[in-house]
Amino acid sequence: MRTRPLKVALLGCGVVGSEVARIMTTHADDLAARIGAPVELAGVAVRRPSKVREGIDPALVTTDATALVKRGDIDVVVEVIGGIEPARSLITTAFEHGASVVSANKALLAQDGAALHAAADDHDADLYYEAAVAGAIPLIRPLRESLAGDKVNRVLGIVNGTTNFILDKMDSTGAGYQEALDEATALGYAEADPTADVEGFDAAAKAAILAGIAFHTRVRLDDVYREGMIEVTSADFASAKAMGCTIKLLAICERAADGGSVTARVHPAMIPLSHPLASVRGAYNAVFVESDAAGQLMFYGPGAGGAPTASAVLGDLVAVCRNKLSGATGPGDSAYTQLPVSPMGEVVTRYHISLDVADKPGVLAQVATVFAEHGVSIDTVRQQGRQDGGGDASLVVVTHRASDASLTGTVEALRNLDTVRGVASIMRVEGE
């Protein structure tokens, strides 16, 4: 074994960074044996130097992250500060000064992955980011390496633990969105400002990264259609249950049947209880992958948290250190296919539409005609008279597969019917 250590700079020492430092210390001998050389924590860049960080030599702590990555003796920079800047500049500077990079930064990778990969290539460096998607779950490396000989056609994932916790709570207890969110906040699953999670931004960044790797093409954050889950109601769950389904916030990346384009989207959807993703409870994540040769695969585990995310970071650190020792680099960007990303209007799926309608002769026929005029075929219709004496009824229509554009046109036309009092909810039905 080489005795001269590989030097690691840690950018950020919060929930994840402190776990990375702890595991580097407590597992030092095993890491050295697996890598073939010791790894040394050579510096830790933080914003608040006065904060006590157990197990970290205060002499290693600095507020000057730029000086740390410019030192010249750093072999690997571990970036766990998140956000776009200064992370982007620090990573680029790290490459320029001979370091490889391990990052957990989904927002940055989703927005600037191409430029960062190019910078890594220019400097014969590695850029690894297993922790950026679904925390501890091995996903990036299986897609990049284990499935490199296969053809992935679809990735369907629960990639946000906060929203899965909320939806699971709503499903299992009948709680409304706000009540379930409050509990998620009290238990530390949801942040004080939960927007990134509940509006689907976090999942959209992960979808962009997964789609790019799965389909060997460029998918940017802006290419991902996004709907949050704040409008999901207890009534939606009741409807889902009536269909033998539950509701999940899904990230869905698909290759078109003709192979000529891809789509990436994040939105709440009904999935059958028989689908493996339906049994993903609490704050867990899971990603279901469908490929030509392997068939169906599911990756499951904790998608967030200090130690689980640090596990993924450490796995990357070992891989990057091994590459450094052998003078090689691992698999880099593989966006060679340049497939167009189709707009949401071209996505084809099934829909569950809940309408409030007048309960009088001819209404069902009128509604059915609107669906027919837009080329949307109805699978089932369920009508229930309301008990409020207002002469209205609830009409639930489930369609066969149709394009999102056709469905949007249908709903617009339905809203213009005098007999349709309101469109209570529209939800896609996936995983069948």
Which residues of the chain form contacts with ligand HSE (CB under 6 A)? 160-162, 197, 202, 303-304
Contact 215, 337 (CB under 8 A): yes
DSSP 8-state assignment for residue 266: E
∠ Cα 23 26 31 (to 5°) = 70
How many residues make up the chain in this entry? 432
Q: How far is CA 77 from the centre of its chain?
A: 24
∠ Cα 286 292 297 (to 5°) = 20
- Beta carbon of residue 285, minimum distance to ligand HSE (angstroms, whole number): 7
Alpha helices in 290-383 (DSSP H): 306-326, 363-373
248 carries an active-site annotation: no
Nearer to ligand HSE, 203 or 429 (CB): 203
Identified catalytic residue from 7, 169, 206, 248: 206
> The tokens of 402 are what?
């149709």
Nearer to ligand HSE, 271 or 304 (CB): 304
> The tokens of 24 are what?
């580097």
Q: Which residues contact 26 (CB under 8 A, 6 or more apart)?
A: none
Nearer to ligand HSE, 113 or 303 (CB): 303
Nearer to ligand HSE, 184 or 357 (CB): 184
Give the residue from 82, 164, 189 showing the smallest Cα distance to 129: 82
Nearer to ligand HSE, 13 or 125 (CB): 13
Nearer to ligand HSE, 312 or 397 (CB): 312
Rounded Cα distance, 339 and 296, in Å: 23
CA terminus-to-terminus distance, the chain: 52
> The tokens of 245 are what?
């389904």
- Beta carbon of residue 303, minimum distance to ligand HSE (angstroms, whole number): 5
Nearer to ligand HSE, 7 or 106 (CB): 106
Q: Report the SS3 class of residue 306.
A: helix
Alpha helices in 128-270 (DSSP H): 140-141, 161-173, 177-186, 195-198, 201-215, 234-242
Peptide bond into 86 cis (omega under 30): yes
- Beta carbon of residue 207, minimum distance to ligand HSE (angstroms, whole number): 12
- Beta carbon of residue 81, minimum distance to ligand HSE (angstroms, whole number): 14
Nearer to ligand HSE, 107 or 353 (CB): 107
Rounded Cα distance, 310 and 59, in Å: 23
> The tokens of 73 are what?
């003796």
Contact 198, 230 (CB under 8 A): yes
Alpha helices in 258-343 (DSSP H): 306-326
> The tokens of 191 are what?
């942040």
- Beta carbon of residue 205, minimum distance to ligand HSE (angstroms, whole number): 8
- Beta carbon of residue 197, minimum distance to ligand HSE (angstroms, whole number): 5
Active site residues: 206
